[in-house]
Amino acid sequence: MIKELVFVTNNAHKVEEVAHAVGNRFKILSLKDLGFEKEIEETGTTFKENASIKTQRIYQQYNLDCFADDSGLEIAALNGDPGVFSARYAGEHGNHQANIECVLEQMEDITDRKAQFKTVISLIWKGREHWFEGVVTGTIRTEISGNSGFGYDPIFQPDGYPVTFAEMPLSEKNKISHRGKAMAQLITFLQQQ
């Protein structure tokens, strides 16, 4: 029997990535599938806090097993920014192009371009909360390159690869991405239940 699991997000790209990663082991439901249209305000100061805010809200309202992630880009030379503000770094939530332009502008004269993507997943499973974390290190390119992915993918080049996340096939990105690593831990946990 396929287990249903709610991914606490309205981001269709994230749902697609996760559904691709888990294959037919679980049926991933989104907030839209639940008929939940509201935005859950992320008031935490860390990825862990924001992920937990989302799962707690859905679990309390629907009493369903669920998971949520909070992810972001952390740039060493910008003291870890954009961090928890990654999705709204330029001011407007979800404006990927404006966020990229803001980062490139701030990085214009900076030679240390080290960065990392980080994901923290909160899973509420049978009433208990569990945590999974994934990190991928890389550098910030000086210009946009590639059309795949979303967010900062066109300017993030993972260590050991000559291309950005936006130039990689989704299957390759999932193997090395921060979300892919955290999801792998989540899937291993679920398989052991």
3-class secondary-structure state, position 126: coil
Could you list the beta-strand ranges (E) of the chain. Answer: 3-7, 26-29, 66-75, 114-125, 128-140, 156-158
Please count the CA atoms within 13 angstroms of the CA of 134 that sit on its side-chain side.
20
* Residue found under tokens 């000559």: 162
Catalytic (active site) residue 81: no
Token pair of 23, please?
């294959």
What is the chain's percent helix, strand, coil content, to nearest 5? 40, 25, 35
Residues 6+ apart with CB under 8 A from 122: 48, 51, 52, 54, 55, 67, 68, 69, 129, 130, 131
Q: Select which of 65, 69, 70, 153 is catalytic.
A: 70
Task: For 111, list phi and psi in degrees, rounded to 5.
Answer: -90, -30
Q: Which residues are catalytic?
A: 70
